[in-house]
Amino acid sequence: MIEKYELMPYKRKQSGQAKALLGSKRIGLFYGTKQILFLSIIGFLLGRASILDGLAPFGIAYFTVLLAKERKNALVGVGIILGTMTVVDAGSWGKYGFALLLSWVVFYFIKDKIQRNVFKTALVSGTIMFLAGILYGIFSDLYIYDLFMIGFESVVTFVFVYILSYAVPIALQKTNRKILSNEELICIAITAAVLISGFADISIRDYALKNVLGILLTLIFAYNGGASVGASVGVTIGIITSMSTIGTPTVIGIYAFSGLLAGIFKDLGKLGSSMGIIMGNAILTFYINGSTEVILQFEEIVMAFIIFMLIPKSILGYTEKFVNANGGSVQLDKAYSERIRRITFDRLKEFSHAFSELAVTYGQILERNRLIDQQEIAGIIDQVVNKVCSQCGMCRSCWKNGFYSSYNDLVEIITLLESSGRIKEDKIPTILKKRCIRLEMLLQTIYDQFEIYKIHYKWENKLFESRQLVAEQFQGVSEILHRLGKEINMDVHFKTDIEDALYVAFDKAGIVVNKITVFEKENGKMEVTVEKRSCYDRKQCDEKIAPIVSQVMGVEFIRKNQHCTTDDSTDNCVFQLVAAEKYRASTGVARASKDNGHICGDSYTMMDLQDGKYMIALSDGMGSGEKAAKESTTTITLLEQLLEAGFDQETAIKTINSILVLKSSDEIFSTIDLSIIDLYTGRLDCIKIGAASSFIKRGNGEIEIIKSTSLPIGILSKIDFDSFGKKLGQGDFVIMMSDGILDADKQTDIKENWVIAALQSIHSRNPQVIADELMNMAIEKYGDRIEDDMTVLVTKIWESK
């Protein structure tokens, strides 16, 4: 039995991705065709634009700019030559046709050498126009005047290439621009004026379309930008349109004055701006020739007015954004900001003075140098007499008849107790031993009262130290407020020109920003603050914003803080960008615990501080294990918090010492080894308190030692510390370590020698490798038993690319 099969015709199925791709190609083809038609129409009008009644260089300049932008399309060239043929005599058609053809050929061969360089493009375009004019002149009568005109036409071509290099990219850009630079706005106005001159000889019932469009353009800019913009655009249109014919240049003044009045009356609406144009034309016409000849026809102004009134507000609003963005609408109100700044500075100054006075007040209590003074000795004697002598039968004899002798004897015993801590029998006054019938009870009571006063003295000193700590804190807060006030009140120079350039650059890149502030500090450093809609941690500020800012500023800029500040109410993100530091730093760490234990008594940190500084700190708690770790961790945590809050190094260390002294009855001792590197200058500032020696290994292999002889922190209420300053450079290493590393070699009296030899033997340029190898060498020297906790920090410095 033969089975029957039905054969179906094959149909190709397209995936969703293929359909989308085909659709995007169709859309791209549509927009590509639309753009070519648009560029061709512009080419036709620029080809028609002529100056001095016969020169038409604008089309050639336009064609070369498109070639430089790699927009090679024959239809644009056809549009240009057709436009040119309508305004020049038939004998000149060949000159401009040859210039177009030569431009095509030349740019085909030299496009890679020019590489979109505007000057080279303009130079080549001007040269081509000059050669075309010379060749045209060879085949006709060539006079000196003709050479002058050929040179003039070449110069105009050169200049117009520069103008179009700003205007054409805006027409070609795919993204919708919202902000234009000053250069772009001016060049667009000039290009628009040249395009309007391309409507020369086109009339509607004897009314020049060129004048109608010129008045309309002046009205739009004056209405949106005000008097200054209206007058500027009026001058531009007047110059370009008057150059297209050989006649009186009075039209320049009429356009300028009319644009000025139209801008002045813009607050009265469209009708007010239109009345300004009419009044400007009437006043200057009457002034120039007594109204015998009207330069801008009233009917032409009425036609422009009608078109202007019919333009939707949305289109006028779109053009207004360009004009006003250029005028600095986003700038701060300087008078208001100055007033706020002054008020804030004065308030901070008052707070700073108040905290400073509090610090002085708290610090006025003098520390007691002696354990006990005369007043307290008298108090002890009173207590002893009340408890022992008042109930004794000899009281009258001792304290009535022999008061001074008895008093001096007790003072002598108390002084003896203060100096030696105990009362020796052979030191007791002889008269007292013979006369006192309660001597043992008397001595015991004196001893008890003295112990009470010792406890009182201890807590009094604790109170003094705590008050001193509060005074230091008040003084630290006062200094922070004073510095903050100085920063607010410092002479900040806002760079509005850079802000405008950044607005334009972001707009070109299609990035919408709400506000940009650029200012230069007194130290010459620039800071850029950007406010924009949050990117929700997609790192747009690092990947897109920072490169654009770097390109505009001419140096590399990076984000100042690791985290952006987001306003939840507006969903806006605010962040700062600063110039990248000259140097970079990276730290390698190696650690080992005593007897291979699980807890290391050393603590460390490394972090970025304000103003481009990098901090490395190491603390060695006394002893080892959990107690030592607690001591060093407390020290490092406090150091981090205080330095981040803005305290300077010395105030922060004094504060930490006071806190550790007062923290509890337990003694908490730890060392501090603090290094701060200025990544802009390469300066290293070290502060050592009881810390082991540090080393600097230079890029050339030379090794320097940094030693300290101070006591650890937390022992004394007043501390001494050693500070050092060094200059670091490319490839230098800073090596910090706890004393466990330094004490590893028991065979040498000078502990630093073995570390120097070890560093000289290590040839790696990786800080982590150096730290690991140094740690392994220290462990090897200890042998079977590691006698102390060990930590080594190796920080490498290198120049940023």
pLDDT band of 350, cuts 50, 70, 90? confident
pLDDT band of 704, cuts 50, 70, 90? very high
3-state class (DSSP) for residue 768: helix
- C-alpha to C-alpha distance for 399 and 380, rounded to whole angstroms: 15
Output the CA angle 601-607-612, nearest 5 degrees.
Answer: 150
What would be the CATH architecture of the domain defined by 178-329? Orthogonal Bundle (1.10)
- In CATH, the number for domain 493-579 is 3.30.70
- C-alpha to C-alpha distance for 616 and 686, rounded to whole angstroms: 10
pLDDT beyond 80 at 193: yes
Place of tokens 């590691």: 786
pLDDT beyond 60 at 34: yes
Lowest mean pLDDT among 134-138, 159-163, 421-425, 774-778: 421-425
pLDDT band of 27, cuts 50, 70, 90? very low
What would be the CATH architecture of the domain defined by 583-799? 4-Layer Sandwich (3.60)
* Entry pTM: 0.55
Beta bridge partners of 725: 685
**Tens digits of per-residue pLDDT, 356-396?**
777 776 666 545 555 566 777 788 888 888 888 878 877 77
Q: Between the CA of residue 155 and those of 46, 60, 152, 160, 167, what are the distances in Å?
A: 17, 12, 5, 9, 19
**Residue of 163, 160, 128, 133 whose CA lies nearest to 147:** 133
Lowest mean pLDDT among 39-48, 100-109, 519-528: 519-528
Helix (H) or strand (E) holding 197, with range, is helix 182-197
pLDDT value, residue 666: 55
Lowest mean pLDDT among 242-246, 282-286, 395-399, 620-624: 242-246
- Contact between 671 and 712 (Cβ < 8 Å): yes
Average pLDDT in the chain: 79
**Tens digits of per-residue pLDDT, 544-566?**
888 899 888 888 888 877 666 77
Beta bridge partners of 724: 686
Compute the half-sphere exposure of residue 542: CA atoms within 13 Å on the CB side of its CA.
10
Selected residue with higher pLDDT from 109 and 731:
731
Share of the chain above pLDDT 70, in %: 82
536: left (phi over 0), alpha (psi -120 to 50) or beta: left
**Tens digits of per-residue pLDDT, 572-597?**
888 888 888 889 999 999 998 887 77
- C-alpha to C-alpha distance for 445 and 384, rounded to whole angstroms: 6
Lowest mean pLDDT among 2-11, 197-206, 352-361, 628-637: 2-11
Q: Judging by DSSP bridges, how do beta strands 557-559 and 572-579 pair with one another?
A: antiparallel
- C-alpha to C-alpha distance for 557 and 530, rounded to whole angstroms: 13
- C-alpha to C-alpha distance for 588 and 774, rounded to whole angstroms: 11
**pLDDT (mean) for 186-211:** 83
pLDDT band of 683, cuts 50, 70, 90? very high
**Tens digits of per-residue pLDDT, 615-661?**
999 998 777 778 788 888 888 888 888 888 777 788 788 777 777 76
Share of the chain above pLDDT 90, in %: 11
pLDDT beyond 60 at 209: yes
- Contact between 328 and 503 (Cβ < 8 Å): no
Query: What amino acid occupies position 581?
Result: E
**pLDDT (mean) for 71-99:** 83
pLDDT value, residue 598: 79
- C-alpha to C-alpha distance for 59 and 48, rounded to whole angstroms: 8
Domain ranges (residues) in the chain:
23-175, 178-329, 493-579, 583-799
Rg of the chain in Å (alpha carbons):
44
pLDDT value, residue 362: 63
pLDDT band of 571, cuts 50, 70, 90? confident
pLDDT value, residue 761: 92
Lowest mean pLDDT among 113-122, 370-379, 514-523, 673-682: 370-379
**pLDDT (mean) for 724-747:** 89
**Tens digits of per-residue pLDDT, 402-417?**
787 888 878 888 887 7
Lowest mean pLDDT among 30-34, 84-88, 283-287, 396-400: 30-34
